[in-house]
Amino acid sequence: LEKAITELHLSVVLTTHHLEEIEGLARLQHRVTIMVDGRLQCLGSLSQLKQSLGDSYELTVKVRDKGAEEEVRALIARQWPDAVLTEGTQLRLTYQVLKADSSLSAMFQFVEDNRKTGITDYSINETSLEQVFMRIGERALRDEDAEAYNDEEHSNLHAPFPPCGEPGMPPPRTEWM
């Protein structure tokens, strides 16, 4: 497959529902499209999709006990008021922190400076491919809802997709010809 693409300059179209396969093929540095209900939603390399749709970091913190958990929750709420708690179970807290609100280095510095509060372990991750796919699917559903209720009373449901894909390329068509 790699030889056909790189040496013979052929185009290959593969379809899958498995994110592992997409990430495995991403090393070939080629474009990926995401479709929802037969409509093309996005086109670009995986890094471009993650950059344009990955607007947050995932901060996961493990704490030693319930008292530390409450203190860490309060610290994070003060540091990043717009952070969203996406999981909070068994002394483990996972937050979505907007990239606009913090840099990676500032996040690491914050956690290291506050380890004495009872933080036993932590991780900070970029947006995953799964999160990008979920976000695109959610936006497609919102767009579908907006089309169904396309009147002034419901016009605030529509949220356009952010720019996505390769620089200088027109946005992908969302209808098949």
Q: Which residues of the chain have pLDDT under 70?
A: 1, 25-29, 150-177
Position 28 scores a pLDDT of: 61
Structure tokens of 76?
């994070």
Position 175 scores a pLDDT of: 39
List Cα–Cα distances, 148 to 135, 137, 139, 145, 175, in angstroms.
20, 17, 14, 5, 17
Query: Looking only at Cα atoms, what is the longest distance across the chain?
Result: 62
Position 27 scores a pLDDT of: 63
Give this prediction's pTM. 0.61
pLDDT in tens, 135-147: 788 877 777 777 7
pLDDT in tens, 86-122: 899 899 999 999 988 999 999 999 999 999 999 999 9
Position 129 scores a pLDDT of: 79
CB 72 within 8 A of CB 79: no
Position 169 scores a pLDDT of: 46
CA distance 124 to 111: 10
Position 158 scores a pLDDT of: 42
| Cβ partners under 8 Å of residue 165, min gap 6 | 31, 42, 43, 44, 48, 52, 171, 172
Position 58 scores a pLDDT of: 92
DSSP state string for 114-155: TGGGTEEEEEEEPPPHHHHHHHHHHHHHHHHHHHHT-SGGGG
